[in-house]
Each structure stands twice: as C-alpha cells, then as structure tokens.
Amino acid sequence: MPLSEHEQRLLEQIERALVDDDPKFASTVRTGDRRQKARRKLQLGILLVVVGLAGLIGGVAVPSVPLGVVGFLLMFGGVALGVLNYKAATGAIEAAPAPGAGPRPDSRSSTKAGKGRRQPLKDRLEERFRRRYDQ
C-alpha cells in the first residue's frame, strides 16, 4: 500500500531533521544494506575456508608444519566469520521464544503445535514417549 502525499511529506521532514541533527548517523543508515555487507563477509569466510583447506592439504602433501598451521588458522577464521554473519546474511530468525513468552519446554502441560509455532523435536519425542508409557 503506497504512502499518501501527507505521509510522504512527513517522512521527508523527519529525514531532513535527522540529517540536520546527526549527519554521520544519517549517512551510515542511508549508505548500506546490512544484509549485503553480511553476505560479503559470509562469502569471504567461505573463500577463507577453501584457501585454508588448500593450505592444510598442501602442508600435508609437502611436509611443512607451518603451511599446515597457516591453512588451519585460515580455515578457522573463515568458519568463524561465516558463523558470525550467517543470520544477518540470510535473514534467518531465531526459533527460541523470548523469556516468559510461553510455557517452559519441560512443563508437562505443553500445548500442541497448532498455534503457528512448532515444538522442538526433542519435546515432541518426549511427549510421545510419555503417552506410550501412560497407556
């Protein structure tokens, strides 16, 4: 649904006020898509893993401990970079509920998964086991 003219004018006024008030913050917000930056870091992490793996294999092929260590460190750094940027790059959301947002996973009065949220596999298996044991 597009914005009305009045809403567009209000949005432009807010933007101008933001630029006047804090130009550094406004330029930071305006210049980048966080997902795109995170995707670049994720791609760099994958590249580091590949180069590190090649270095590790090269260190084994040519008996060179320093080359193997450097390859391992590159792989480790690439994996760390990828793990730290995975959620931001893919837009994945966390499946864990907020604290106090519902019944505890270990409570016996757990509800069925019909409310839009699925129970974790462990909880479903425990509930199935309890039902079989109670019969």
DSSP assignment of 1-28 equals: -PPPHHHHHHHHHHHHHHHHH-HHHHHH
Q: What is the pTM of this model?
A: 0.47
Residue 121 has pLDDT above 70, yes or no: yes
23 against 83, higher pLDDT = 83
- The Cα 110–Cα 90 span in angstroms is 31
- Per-domain boundaries in the chain: 8-90
Residue 113 pLDDT level (bands cut at 50, 70, 90): very low
52 against 116, higher pLDDT = 52
36-78, pLDDT tens digit by residue?
A: 788 888 899 999 999 999 999 999 999 899 999 999 999 999 9
**What integer pLDDT is reported at residue 100 of this predicted model?**
52
- The Cα 49–Cα 81 span in angstroms is 10
Q: What is the mean pLDDT of residues 11-18?
A: 84
**What integer pLDDT is reported at residue 117 of this predicted model?**
65
3-state secondary structure 31-95: HCCHHHHHHHHHHHHHHHHHHHHHHHHHHHHCCCHHHHHHHHHHHHHHHHHHHHHHHHHHCCCCC
